[in-house]
Amino acid sequence: MKEFAVKLEKLAEELLDLFCENIGLEKGYLKKAFYGAKGPTFGTKVSNYPPCPTPDKIKGLRAHTDAGGIILLFQDPVVGGLQLLKDGEWVDVPPLRHSIVINLGDQLEVITNGKYKSVEHRVIAQTDGTRMSLASFYNPGSDAVIYPAPALVEKEAEEKNKQVYPKFVFEDYMKLYARLKFQAKEPRFEAMKA
């Protein structure tokens, strides 16, 4: 598991550099933004979703966005249930063996000033089979100060857009998120402005 975690963390950092390249930030910018005093945090969570004989009476894992940075998800290769919200419609994410679903969290949305959006997703209950997933989270350090990248804000100012995301300490956002996880992200961002 330690070797696995080290490789996934490295993959997350490589993806962050690709995101930087894609939107015109210097290589390493996102990793630095996540750093804080002791570096970014990385953790893995295993989830088990047993079969449900009456899926119409249960919500499964309710719709939410993830609070952190980048999420690397190994989903069950047989039993589905993961859905994401795209253009107001819930779309199934089919299980694919030996693949990683990449999900973006709220912190990437803030740092990229909305160029990347955190993805609202849910897991619906299934009648056939137990669904397992393994999610690894690459998040900012608790004391990291999160705010839109100045280079992106300057570029948007030239295009007559304005900075819409607040500046805050990640740990403060997490305290708010713990209470409001299953609500829309926009009020969380507004609360952090205050």
Contacts of 32 (CB under 8 A, 6+ apart): none
Contacts of 127 (CB under 8 A, 6+ apart): 51, 52, 53, 55
Annotated catalytic residue 121: yes
Annotated catalytic residue 66: yes
Annotated catalytic residue 38: no
Q: Which of 31, 64, 115, 185 is catalytic?
A: 64
Annotated catalytic residue 115: no
List the structure tokens of 169: 């300490």
Q: Which of 31, 115, 121, 185 is catalytic?
A: 121
Q: Which of 10, 27, 32, 45 is catalytic?
A: 45
Q: Which of 66, 76, 106, 185 is catalytic?
A: 66
Burial group, residue 186, by CB count within 10 angstroms (0-12, 13-18, 19+): exposed
Half-sphere exposure of 159 (CA within 13 A, CB side): 8
As annotated, the active-site residues are 45, 64, 66, 121
